[in-house]
């Protein structure tokens, strides 16, 4: 990496951190206003403070089981260090959540192509309608193009005309090819054509959109299995990544969708969208802990560049940054 590239990367990292901070503002405001009220009148972390904290974390969509793990960790620190002050609570929370995510094998991704050992690298994208699936595909294609990768998109959501049209619009916007067939076509056939086309054109990455239906788990499982089997006839081992897209603003519904899709297919990566418009950003922590599937991408805004690789340290630090600053003022 040259000196210019180094400084450019530093500038990009700083801008991404600023965007992440902004996207988590609503979650931070909700979380910290309640934590501040919970510790009023208490100078040390005691059972009363921890009971309040437990309720705050559960109702912040971190989830019951994950919350209990966090509380147990803080209780162990209190027992060990005795008089921990409430002014240290946010710092302790930040540390324990990061440790929990590390133990959950929540990997950090340094660039958008660092696991792409196959060519074409095939990503099958799943998720219900309305979570930002097609938008995530478009933004991901844009990021891959910036990394100088040749990308093709496959419009295998053939049940909604709007889905195919939207993917074609993204293809035009980021200047990547889109393989599509007529409405109602067999999704597996579209996936097959996409991979054949990717091989013929020497493309590095093929991203396959799929139908966002969850009304029948057996039908969903059968459809996704068929798509996988057909793709493997063209590219052995495909898909290399099954990316489940979830809407963070739906809180506990996102956890339920994750349950359904992980039972239906072998999800090995997650994308959490719409973090910028919600106070339910805590769901990222709960999902990462509960399912032990890496959160790979987070959607932090509506702009074409507002898709980031998930970094647990940056995420948790951003989540607790505001309160740390506020505490230093107090």
The Cα–Cα gap between 237 and 240 comes to 6
Give DSSP secondary structure letters for 131-184.
SSHHHHHHHHHHHHHHTT--EEEEE--TT-HHHHHHHHHHHHHHT-EEE---TT
- Report the pLDDT value the prediction gives residue 274, as an integer from 0 to 100: 93
Strand partners, 123: 207, 241
- Where exactly are the structural domains of the chain? 14-107+318-325, 121-312
Do β-strands 295-299 and 307-309 pair in parallel, antiparallel, or remain unpaired?
Answer: antiparallel
pLDDT at position 156, please? 96
Question: Which segments in the chain show pLDDT lower than 70?
Answer: 1-12, 105-108, 114-115, 214-216, 322-330
| Res 125: pLDDT | 97
Strands laid side by side in the 269-273 sheet? 177-179, 151-155, 205-209, 121-126, 241-247, 269-273, 295-299, 307-309
Q: What is the pLDDT of residue 228?
A: 96
Looking at residue 277, its pLDDT comes to 84
Q: Which fold has domain 14-107+318-325?
A: 1.20.120
Q: Of 239, 187, 214, nearest to 129 (Cα)?
A: 214
Segment 227-236, tens digit of pLDDT = 999 999 999 9
Closest CA to 60 of 320, 326, 328, 329: 320
pLDDT of residue 7: 36
Summarised one tens digit per residue, pLDDT across range 266-311 is 999 999 999 998 888 899 999 989 999 989 999 999 999 999 999 9
pTM of this prediction? 0.89
Domain covering 121-312 in this structure, CATH number: 3.40.50.300
């Amino acid at each position: 990496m040259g000196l210019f590239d180094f400084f450019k990367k530093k500038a990009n990292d700083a801008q991404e951190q600023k965007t992440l901070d902004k996207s988590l503002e609503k979650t931070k405001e909700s979380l910290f206003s309640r934590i501040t009220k919970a510790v009023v009148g208490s100078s040390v972390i005691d059972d009363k403070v921890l009971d309040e904290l437990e309720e705050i974390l559960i109702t912040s969509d971190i989830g019951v089981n994950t919350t209990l793990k966090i509380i147990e960790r803080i209780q162990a620190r209190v027992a060990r260090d005795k008089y921990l002050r409430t002014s240290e609570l946010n710092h302790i929370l930040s540390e324990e959540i990061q440790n929990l995510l590390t133990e959950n094998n929540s990997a950090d991704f340094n660039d958008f192509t660092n696991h792409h050992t196959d060519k074409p690298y095939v990503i099958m994208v799943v998720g219900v309608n309305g979570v930002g699936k097609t938008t995530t595909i478009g933004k991901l294609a844009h990021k891959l193009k910036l990394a100088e990768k040749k990308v093709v998109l496959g419009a295998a959501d053939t049940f909604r005309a709007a889905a195919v049209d939207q993917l074609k619009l993204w293809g035009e916007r980021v200047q990547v090819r889109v393989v599509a067939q007529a409405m109602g076509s067999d999704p597996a056939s579209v996936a097959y054509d996409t991979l054949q086309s990717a091989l013929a054109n020497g493309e590095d990455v093929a991203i396959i959109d799929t139908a966002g239906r969850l009304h029948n788990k057996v039908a969903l499982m059968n459809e996704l299995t068929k798509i996988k089997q057909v793709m493997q006839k063209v590219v052995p081992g495909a898909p290399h990544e099954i990316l489940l897209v979830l809407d963070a603003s739906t809180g506990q519904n996102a956890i339920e969708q994750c349950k359904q899709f992980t039972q239906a297919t072998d999800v090995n990566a997650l994308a959490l969208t719409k973090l910028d418009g919600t106070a339910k950003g805590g769901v990222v922590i709960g999902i990462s802990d509960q399912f032990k599937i890496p959160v790979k991408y987070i959607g932090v805004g509506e702009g074409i560049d507002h898709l980031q690789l998930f970094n647990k340290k940056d995420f948790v630090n951003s989540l607790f940054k505001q309160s740390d600053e506020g505490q230093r003022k107090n």
